[in-house]
Protein backbone atom coordinates (compact mmCIF):
# COMPACT_ATOMS: atom_id res chain seq x y z
CA UNK A 1 0.00 0.00 0.00
CA UNK A 2 1.18 3.50 -0.86
CA UNK A 3 -0.41 6.82 0.02
CA UNK A 4 0.54 10.38 -0.86
CA UNK A 5 -1.12 13.73 -0.20
CA UNK A 6 -1.23 15.75 -3.42
CA UNK A 7 -2.96 18.96 -2.39
CA UNK A 8 -4.25 20.83 0.65
CA UNK A 9 -7.11 23.30 1.00
CA UNK A 10 -6.78 26.50 2.98
CA UNK A 11 -7.93 24.46 5.98
CA UNK A 12 -7.31 20.78 6.76
CA UNK A 13 -9.11 19.20 3.81
CA UNK A 14 -6.76 17.38 1.47
CA UNK A 15 -6.64 15.38 -1.74
CA UNK A 16 -4.44 12.34 -2.07
CA UNK A 17 -3.76 9.12 -3.93
CA UNK A 18 -4.05 5.63 -2.45
CA UNK A 19 -2.41 2.74 -4.29
CA UNK A 20 -3.14 -0.90 -3.52
CA UNK A 21 -1.35 -3.75 -5.23
CA UNK A 22 -4.54 -5.49 -6.35
CA UNK A 23 -6.34 -2.42 -7.77
CA UNK A 24 -5.94 -1.55 -11.47
CA UNK A 25 -4.96 2.04 -10.77
CA UNK A 26 -4.53 4.67 -8.07
CA UNK A 27 -7.62 5.66 -6.06
CA UNK A 28 -8.06 9.38 -5.55
CA UNK A 29 -9.03 10.48 -2.06
CA UNK A 30 -11.32 11.55 -0.42
CA UNK A 31 -12.80 8.23 -1.45
CA UNK A 32 -15.64 5.89 -0.67
CA UNK A 33 -15.54 2.41 0.84
CA UNK A 34 -18.30 0.36 -0.77
CA UNK A 35 -20.41 -1.37 1.86
CA UNK A 36 -20.58 -5.16 1.47
CA UNK A 37 -22.03 -8.26 3.02
CA UNK A 38 -19.54 -11.12 3.08
CA UNK A 39 -17.31 -9.28 0.65
CA UNK A 40 -19.74 -8.27 -2.10
CA UNK A 41 -22.00 -5.19 -2.41
CA UNK A 42 -25.47 -5.78 -1.01
CA UNK A 43 -27.27 -5.81 -4.36
CA UNK A 44 -24.76 -5.56 -7.23
CA UNK A 45 -23.78 -8.96 -8.68
CA UNK A 46 -20.10 -9.57 -9.53
CA UNK A 47 -20.66 -9.44 -13.30
CA UNK A 48 -21.94 -5.84 -13.03
CA UNK A 49 -19.14 -4.55 -10.81
CA UNK A 50 -17.03 -3.79 -13.85
CA UNK A 51 -19.64 -1.34 -15.15
CA UNK A 52 -18.94 0.91 -12.14
CA UNK A 53 -16.37 3.72 -12.41
CA UNK A 54 -12.83 2.34 -12.23
CA UNK A 55 -10.82 2.43 -10.05
CA UNK A 56 -13.06 4.52 -7.77
CA UNK A 57 -15.37 1.58 -7.06
CA UNK A 58 -12.64 -0.97 -6.44
CA UNK A 59 -12.36 -0.43 -2.68
CA UNK A 60 -14.64 -2.63 -0.55
CA UNK A 61 -15.47 -2.44 3.14
CA UNK A 62 -15.60 -5.93 4.64
CA UNK A 63 -16.55 -6.87 8.19
CA UNK A 64 -14.59 -9.93 9.24
CA UNK A 65 -17.44 -10.76 11.64
CA UNK A 66 -19.60 -11.74 8.65
CA UNK A 67 -17.38 -14.81 8.34
CA UNK A 68 -17.89 -16.11 11.88
CA UNK A 69 -20.31 -18.70 10.52
CA UNK A 70 -19.92 -20.89 7.46
CA UNK A 71 -16.48 -21.65 6.11
CA UNK A 72 -13.79 -21.98 8.75
CA UNK A 73 -10.80 -19.59 8.71
CA UNK A 74 -8.60 -22.52 7.69
CA UNK A 75 -10.78 -23.26 4.65
CA UNK A 76 -10.88 -19.59 3.60
CA UNK A 77 -7.11 -19.47 3.92
CA UNK A 78 -6.68 -22.57 1.73
CA UNK A 79 -8.92 -21.01 -0.93
CA UNK A 80 -6.60 -18.02 -1.01
CA UNK A 81 -8.43 -15.38 1.02
CA UNK A 82 -11.07 -12.89 -0.09
CA UNK A 83 -9.63 -12.12 -3.54
CA UNK A 84 -9.68 -15.75 -4.66
CA UNK A 85 -12.86 -16.78 -2.83
CA UNK A 86 -14.88 -13.93 -4.38
CA UNK A 87 -13.15 -14.03 -7.76
CA UNK A 88 -12.19 -10.34 -7.54
CA UNK A 89 -8.41 -10.19 -7.87
CA UNK A 90 -8.48 -6.55 -9.03
CA UNK A 91 -10.37 -5.14 -6.04
CA UNK A 92 -9.13 -3.88 -2.71
CA UNK A 93 -10.60 -5.11 0.59
CA UNK A 94 -10.51 -3.17 3.85
CA UNK A 95 -11.45 -5.23 6.93
CA UNK A 96 -13.11 -3.34 9.79
CA UNK A 97 -14.99 -5.19 12.57
CA UNK A 98 -17.95 -2.82 12.53
CA UNK A 99 -20.02 -2.31 9.40
CA UNK A 100 -22.65 0.11 10.84
CA UNK A 101 -25.52 -1.98 9.45
CA UNK A 102 -25.27 -5.56 10.68
CA UNK A 103 -22.31 -5.68 13.09
CA UNK A 104 -22.84 -2.94 15.65
CA UNK A 105 -20.71 -2.57 18.81
CA UNK A 106 -22.41 -3.61 22.05
CA UNK A 107 -20.43 -1.80 24.73
CA UNK A 108 -22.34 -3.24 27.71
CA UNK A 109 -21.13 -6.75 26.89
CA UNK A 110 -17.54 -5.86 26.01
CA UNK A 111 -14.95 -6.69 28.64
CA UNK A 112 -11.20 -6.79 29.15
CA UNK A 113 -10.95 -9.93 27.02
CA UNK A 114 -12.60 -8.65 23.86
CA UNK A 115 -15.14 -6.46 22.07
CA UNK A 116 -18.81 -7.42 21.81
CA UNK A 117 -20.90 -6.98 18.66
CA UNK A 118 -24.50 -7.53 17.62
CA UNK A 119 -24.13 -9.65 14.49
CA UNK A 120 -26.52 -11.57 12.19
CA UNK A 121 -25.55 -14.68 14.16
CA UNK A 122 -26.25 -13.15 17.57
CA UNK A 123 -24.18 -11.24 20.07
CA UNK A 124 -20.53 -12.24 19.83
CA UNK A 125 -17.52 -11.47 21.99
CA UNK A 126 -14.42 -11.23 19.79
CA UNK A 127 -10.97 -11.55 21.35
CA UNK A 128 -7.90 -10.07 19.63
CA UNK A 129 -6.42 -13.51 18.89
CA UNK A 130 -9.68 -14.67 17.25
CA UNK A 131 -9.94 -11.46 15.30
CA UNK A 132 -6.40 -11.68 13.93
CA UNK A 133 -6.98 -15.34 13.00
CA UNK A 134 -9.95 -14.24 10.88
CA UNK A 135 -7.91 -11.45 9.31
CA UNK A 136 -5.08 -13.87 8.49
CA UNK A 137 -7.47 -16.14 6.60
CA UNK A 138 -9.19 -13.31 4.70
CA UNK A 139 -5.92 -11.65 3.60
CA UNK A 140 -7.35 -8.16 3.03
CA UNK A 141 -5.34 -5.31 1.56
CA UNK A 142 -5.86 -3.26 4.73
CA UNK A 143 -7.22 -4.17 8.16
CA UNK A 144 -7.93 -2.25 11.33
CA UNK A 145 -7.17 -3.30 14.88
CA UNK A 146 -9.92 -4.26 17.31
CA UNK A 147 -11.55 -1.39 19.20
CA UNK A 148 -13.92 -0.94 22.13
CA UNK A 149 -16.38 1.57 20.65
CA UNK A 150 -18.81 3.24 23.05
CA UNK A 151 -21.76 5.62 22.53
CA UNK A 152 -21.72 9.19 23.76
CA UNK A 153 -23.92 8.56 26.80
CA UNK A 154 -21.51 6.27 28.68
CA UNK A 155 -19.80 7.53 31.83
CA UNK A 156 -16.39 9.20 31.76
CA UNK A 157 -14.93 6.15 33.50
CA UNK A 158 -16.34 3.75 30.89
CA UNK A 159 -15.07 5.97 28.09
CA UNK A 160 -11.58 6.00 29.59
CA UNK A 161 -11.70 2.21 29.93
CA UNK A 162 -12.61 1.88 26.24
CA UNK A 163 -9.51 3.86 25.27
CA UNK A 164 -7.31 1.78 27.57
CA UNK A 165 -8.64 -1.44 26.04
CA UNK A 166 -8.33 -0.17 22.48
CA UNK A 167 -4.68 0.77 23.04
CA UNK A 168 -3.94 -2.62 24.64
CA UNK A 169 -5.68 -4.48 21.80
CA UNK A 170 -3.79 -2.33 19.31
CA UNK A 171 -0.51 -3.68 20.63
CA UNK A 172 -1.86 -7.24 20.77
CA UNK A 173 -3.09 -7.12 17.16
CA UNK A 174 0.22 -5.72 15.94
CA UNK A 175 2.12 -8.45 17.79
CA UNK A 176 -0.18 -11.17 16.39
CA UNK A 177 -0.07 -9.89 12.80
CA UNK A 178 1.58 -12.81 10.96
CA UNK A 179 1.91 -11.27 7.52
CA UNK A 180 3.05 -7.82 8.52
CA UNK A 181 0.54 -6.27 6.06
CA UNK A 182 -0.92 -2.77 6.20
CA UNK A 183 -2.48 -2.24 9.65
CA UNK A 184 -4.62 0.78 10.53
CA UNK A 185 -4.63 1.62 14.23
CA UNK A 186 -8.00 2.20 15.88
CA UNK A 187 -8.78 5.50 17.59
CA UNK A 188 -11.76 5.92 19.93
CA UNK A 189 -12.68 8.20 22.81
CA UNK A 190 -16.42 8.80 22.62
CA UNK A 191 -17.44 12.43 22.99
CA UNK A 192 -14.38 13.37 25.06
CA UNK A 193 -11.82 15.52 23.25
CA UNK A 194 -9.25 14.64 25.90
CA UNK A 195 -9.68 10.87 25.44
CA UNK A 196 -9.70 11.21 21.64
CA UNK A 197 -6.39 13.06 21.86
CA UNK A 198 -4.91 10.44 24.21
CA UNK A 199 -5.89 7.58 21.93
CA UNK A 200 -4.58 9.41 18.85
CA UNK A 201 -1.26 10.13 20.56
CA UNK A 202 -0.81 6.47 21.44
CA UNK A 203 -1.67 5.35 17.90
CA UNK A 204 0.72 7.91 16.40
CA UNK A 205 3.58 6.38 18.41
CA UNK A 206 3.09 2.95 16.82
CA UNK A 207 4.47 1.76 13.49
CA UNK A 208 1.18 1.76 11.56
CA UNK A 209 0.26 2.14 7.91
CA UNK A 210 -2.71 4.40 8.67
CA UNK A 211 -5.49 5.12 11.12
CA UNK A 212 -9.12 4.13 11.59
CA UNK A 213 -11.16 6.71 13.53
CA UNK A 214 -13.96 4.76 15.20
CA UNK A 215 -16.74 5.46 17.65
CA UNK A 216 -18.68 7.90 15.46
CA UNK A 217 -22.34 7.65 14.54
CA UNK A 218 -23.07 6.50 18.10
CA UNK A 219 -24.97 9.48 19.47
CA UNK A 220 -22.77 12.53 18.98
CA UNK A 221 -24.37 15.59 17.41
CA UNK A 222 -23.14 17.29 14.26
CA UNK A 223 -22.18 20.31 16.36
CA UNK A 224 -19.95 18.18 18.61
CA UNK A 225 -18.26 16.30 15.78
CA UNK A 226 -15.85 18.90 14.29
CA UNK A 227 -14.02 19.36 17.61
CA UNK A 228 -13.73 15.58 18.07
CA UNK A 229 -12.44 15.06 14.53
CA UNK A 230 -9.96 17.93 14.70
CA UNK A 231 -8.64 16.73 18.06
CA UNK A 232 -7.60 13.50 16.33
CA UNK A 233 -6.39 14.73 12.94
CA UNK A 234 -4.25 17.47 14.53
CA UNK A 235 -2.15 14.72 16.13
CA UNK A 236 -1.95 12.07 13.41
CA UNK A 237 0.96 11.92 10.97
CA UNK A 238 0.03 13.75 7.79
CA UNK A 239 1.64 11.27 5.39
CA UNK A 240 -0.58 8.38 6.51
CA UNK A 241 -4.18 7.79 5.37
CA UNK A 242 -7.16 8.23 7.70
CA UNK A 243 -10.29 6.13 7.51
CA UNK A 244 -13.58 6.67 9.32
CA UNK A 245 -16.87 4.82 9.73
CA UNK A 246 -20.18 6.00 11.11
CA UNK A 247 -20.58 9.22 9.08
CA UNK A 248 -23.49 8.75 6.74
CA UNK A 249 -25.22 11.90 5.54
CA UNK A 250 -23.53 14.02 2.86
CA UNK A 251 -23.24 16.87 5.37
CA UNK A 252 -21.41 14.54 7.76
CA UNK A 253 -19.04 13.39 5.03
CA UNK A 254 -18.23 17.03 4.32
CA UNK A 255 -17.42 17.50 8.00
CA UNK A 256 -14.97 14.61 7.73
CA UNK A 257 -13.41 15.96 4.54
CA UNK A 258 -12.96 19.36 6.21
CA UNK A 259 -11.12 17.66 9.09
CA UNK A 260 -8.71 15.86 6.75
CA UNK A 261 -10.26 12.38 6.54
CA UNK A 262 -9.38 10.39 3.41
CA UNK A 263 -11.68 7.33 3.24
CA UNK A 264 -15.33 6.95 4.32
CA UNK A 265 -17.79 4.07 4.57
CA UNK A 266 -21.07 4.12 2.63
CA UNK A 267 -23.93 2.84 4.77
CA UNK A 268 -26.00 5.89 3.80
CA UNK A 269 -26.08 4.63 0.22
CA UNK A 270 -27.35 1.25 1.38
CA UNK A 271 -30.17 2.87 3.34
CA UNK A 272 -31.11 5.03 0.34
CA UNK A 273 -31.22 1.97 -1.89
CA UNK A 274 -33.37 -0.01 0.53
CA UNK A 275 -35.79 2.92 0.76
CA UNK A 276 -36.15 3.27 -3.01
CA UNK A 277 -34.55 6.71 -3.13
CA UNK A 278 -32.30 8.23 -5.80
CA UNK A 279 -30.06 11.21 -5.09
CA UNK A 280 -30.62 14.24 -7.31
CA UNK A 281 -27.37 16.12 -6.81
CA UNK A 282 -25.98 17.62 -10.04
CA UNK A 283 -23.84 15.12 -11.97
CA UNK A 284 -21.15 16.34 -14.35
CA UNK A 285 -22.71 19.79 -14.39
CA UNK A 286 -26.19 18.47 -15.27
CA UNK A 287 -28.86 20.09 -13.12
CA UNK A 288 -32.00 18.10 -12.34
CA UNK A 289 -35.19 20.06 -11.77
CA UNK A 290 -37.22 18.30 -9.06
CA UNK A 291 -39.18 21.25 -7.72
CA UNK A 292 -42.44 19.99 -9.14
CA UNK A 293 -41.89 16.31 -8.42
CA UNK A 294 -43.86 14.46 -5.78
CA UNK A 295 -41.62 12.56 -3.40
CA UNK A 296 -38.74 15.03 -3.77
CA UNK A 297 -36.94 17.03 -1.07
CA UNK A 298 -34.54 18.76 -3.52
CA UNK A 299 -31.76 16.26 -2.72
CA UNK A 300 -33.42 12.94 -3.50
CA UNK A 301 -36.56 11.51 -5.09
CA UNK A 302 -38.70 8.60 -3.95
CA UNK A 303 -39.03 6.32 -6.94
CA UNK A 304 -41.88 4.45 -5.29
CA UNK A 305 -44.10 7.50 -5.80
CA UNK A 306 -46.94 7.08 -8.29
CA UNK A 307 -45.80 10.15 -10.24
CA UNK A 308 -43.02 8.00 -11.73
CA UNK A 309 -45.27 5.16 -12.84
CA UNK A 310 -45.39 6.43 -16.43
CA UNK A 311 -42.15 8.44 -16.43
CA UNK A 312 -40.05 7.03 -19.28
CA UNK A 313 -37.06 9.29 -18.65
CA UNK A 314 -33.87 8.13 -16.88
CA UNK A 315 -33.21 9.22 -13.32
CA UNK A 316 -30.85 11.91 -14.68
CA UNK A 317 -30.59 12.90 -18.32
CA UNK A 318 -27.13 12.41 -19.84
CA UNK A 319 -25.89 10.43 -16.82
CA UNK A 320 -23.54 7.72 -18.09
CA UNK A 321 -24.15 5.16 -15.33
CA UNK A 322 -25.48 1.71 -16.26
CA UNK A 323 -28.92 2.41 -14.77
CA UNK A 324 -29.57 5.72 -16.54
CA UNK A 325 -28.25 4.47 -19.89
CA UNK A 326 -30.49 1.39 -19.88
CA UNK A 327 -33.59 1.97 -17.73
CA UNK A 328 -36.31 4.47 -16.90
CA UNK A 329 -37.92 5.77 -13.73
CA UNK A 330 -41.11 3.92 -14.72
CA UNK A 331 -39.29 0.59 -14.86
CA UNK A 332 -37.60 1.11 -11.48
CA UNK A 333 -40.94 2.21 -10.00
CA UNK A 334 -42.48 -1.01 -11.30
CA UNK A 335 -39.67 -3.15 -9.85
CA UNK A 336 -39.98 -1.46 -6.46
CA UNK A 337 -43.74 -1.93 -6.32
CA UNK A 338 -43.57 -5.63 -7.20
CA UNK A 339 -40.71 -6.12 -4.70
CA UNK A 340 -38.21 -7.23 -7.32
CA UNK A 341 -34.60 -7.07 -6.06
CA UNK A 342 -33.39 -5.80 -9.44
CA UNK A 343 -34.74 -2.42 -8.31
CA UNK A 344 -32.16 -2.29 -5.53
CA UNK A 345 -29.44 -3.45 -7.92
CA UNK A 346 -30.16 -0.61 -10.34
CA UNK A 347 -30.54 1.96 -7.57
CA UNK A 348 -27.31 0.95 -5.85
CA UNK A 349 -25.42 1.30 -9.11
CA UNK A 350 -26.90 4.75 -9.60
CA UNK A 351 -26.26 6.09 -6.09
CA UNK A 352 -22.69 4.81 -6.20
CA UNK A 353 -22.23 6.87 -9.36
CA UNK A 354 -23.44 9.94 -7.44
CA UNK A 355 -20.71 9.54 -4.84
CA UNK A 356 -17.81 8.91 -7.23
pLDDT digits (tens, 9 = 90+) for 182-225: 999 999 999 999 999 999 999 999 999 999 999 999 999 999 99
Classify residue 293: in a domain, yes or no.
no
Same structural domain, 169 and 21: yes
CA distances from 228 to 97, 145, 192, 266 (A): 22, 20, 7, 21
Q: How far apart are CA 154 and CA 87, in angstroms?
A: 43
pTM: 0.91
Q: How far apart are CA 134 and CA 169, in angstroms?
A: 15
Same structural domain, 9 and 44: yes
Same structural domain, 283 and 253: no
Same structural domain, 26 and 92: yes
Classify residue 150: in a domain, yes or no.
yes
Nearest to 207 by CA among 182, 227, 230: 182
Q: How far apart are CA 101 and CA 348, in angstroms?
A: 16
Same structural domain, 55 and 180: yes
CA dihedral 73→77→78→81, nearest 10 degrees, is 130
Q: How far apart are CA 63 and CA 169, in angstroms?
A: 18
pLDDT at 295 over 70: no
Provide the pairing of β-strand 40-41 with 59-62.
unpaired
Element (H, E) at 271: helix 267-275
Same structural domain, 283 and 184: no
Same structural domain, 53 and 25: yes
Domain that holds residue 88: 2-272
Q: How far apart are CA 182 and CA 178, in angstroms?
A: 11
Same structural domain, 105 and 176: yes
Classify residue 262: in a domain, yes or no.
yes
Classify residue 209: in a domain, yes or no.
yes
Structure confidence at residue 317 (pLDDT): 86
In a 3-state reduction of DSSP, which class is residue 343? helix
Count of structural domains, the chain: 2
**Lowest-pLDDT range of 60-74, 244-258, 273-287:** 273-287
Structure confidence at residue 120 (pLDDT): 78
Structure confidence at residue 78 (pLDDT): 94
Average pLDDT over the chain reads: 89
Classify residue 160: in a domain, yes or no.
yes
Amino acid sequence: MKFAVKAWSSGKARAGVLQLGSCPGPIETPSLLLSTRKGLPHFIPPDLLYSLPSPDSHLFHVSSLHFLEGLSPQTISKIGGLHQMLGLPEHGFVCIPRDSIQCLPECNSSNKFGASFETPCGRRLIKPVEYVELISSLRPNIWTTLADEVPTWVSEKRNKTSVDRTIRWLDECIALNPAGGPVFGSIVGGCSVKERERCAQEAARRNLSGYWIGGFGLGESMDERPALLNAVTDILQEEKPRLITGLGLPEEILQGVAAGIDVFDSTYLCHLTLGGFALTFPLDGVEMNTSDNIGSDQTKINLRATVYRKDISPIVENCNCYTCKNHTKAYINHLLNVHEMLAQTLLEMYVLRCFQ
